[in-house]
Amino acid sequence: MLDIKTGAPRVRPANPFLTPVQAGDFVKLSWRTLERMRQRGVGPPFRKHGRYVRYHIDDLEAWSEANIHTAVHETPRA
């Protein structure tokens, strides 16, 4: 546990909001891919802070966890 002494400045935790470039790096996709996913209404949840798109790191992790697959299902051949 972090012990904050009297008179010491409060330490602000790291910013959990990522830019599209940072979010792309985090999930190993390009920012353009994330942009296309936003336009189609798929992909990780995002937030608008004014005109800026931001991704919360917890949302990215939850989206990634929700997309775990154990097998690729192929369409049966006729």
Given a contact cutoff of 8 angstroms between Cβ atoms, the answer to whether 63 and 56 are in contact is no
Residue 12 falls within a domain, yes or no? no
Residue 31 falls within a domain, yes or no? yes
Residue 38 falls within a domain, yes or no? yes
Residue 74 falls within a domain, yes or no? no
Residue 77 falls within a domain, yes or no? no
Show the domain range for 57: 17-65
Residue 46 falls within a domain, yes or no? yes
Model pTM above 0.85: no
Given a contact cutoff of 8 angstroms between Cβ atoms, the answer to whether 60 and 44 are in contact is yes
DSSP secondary structure code for residue 44 in this structure: S
Residue 72 falls within a domain, yes or no? no
pLDDT grade for 75, boundaries at 50, 70 and 90: low
Q: Is beta strand 17-18 parallel, antiparallel or unpaired with respect to 52-56?
A: antiparallel
What is the per-residue pLDDT across 2-52, written as a single tens digit (0 to 9) for each?
Answer: 444 454 445 456 789 999 999 999 999 999 999 999 999 999 999 999 999
Given a contact cutoff of 8 angstroms between Cβ atoms, the answer to whether 24 and 33 are in contact is yes
Number of domains in the chain: 1
